[in-house]
């Protein structure tokens, strides 16, 4: 089963807006550090409802699709953020695979 969360990349203009948007959409905790290490930590627990790291959950056998709309403009405007998002989602998947679990995040970009 898949769960899709839509992120409007038009709203991302810098690192602060990136982290604010993901915190709002995913319900990251108040102590969220607003850096990519903290993003990775929160997203790693997307399949653990009791962790308190996010208000969006999937089952361990499901896939979370982050549908990134207006991604071409984000890639032009903030290439470092665009690249970091892809790399960090891949790292979350790598963490899961290292723990003998399945990868769980897919990025769909227009």
Question: Tens of pLDDT along the chain (110 residues)?
Answer: 999 999 999 999 999 999 999 999 999 999 999 999 999 999 999 999 999 999 999 999 999 999 999 999 999 999 999 999 999 999 999 999 999 999 999 999 98
Look at phi and psi of residue 44 and say left if phi exceeds 0, alpha if psi is from -120 to 50, else beta: alpha
Give pTM, 2 decimals. 0.94
Q: Which residues of 84-104 are buried (b: 16+ CB within 10 A; e: fewer)?
A: ebeebbebbbebbeeeeeeeb
Helices (H), 30-78: 36-44, 71-77
From the number of C-beta atoms within 10 Å of its C-beta (0-12, 13-18, 19+), residue 28 rates as buried
């Amino acid at each position: 089963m898949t769960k899709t969360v839509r992120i409007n990349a038009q709203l991302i203009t810098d690192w602060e807006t990136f982290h604010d948007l993901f915190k709002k959409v995913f319900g990251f905790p108040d102590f969220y550090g607003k850096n990519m290490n903290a993003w990775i930590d929160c997203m790693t627990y997307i399949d653990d409802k009791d962790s308190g790291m996010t208000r969006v959950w999937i089952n361990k056998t499901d896939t979370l699709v982050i549908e990134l709309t207006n991604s071409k403009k984000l890639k032009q405007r903030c290439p470092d953020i665009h690249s970091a998002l892809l790399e960090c989602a891949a790292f979350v998947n790598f963490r899961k695979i290292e723990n003998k679990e399945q990868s769980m995040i897919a990025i769909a970009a227009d």
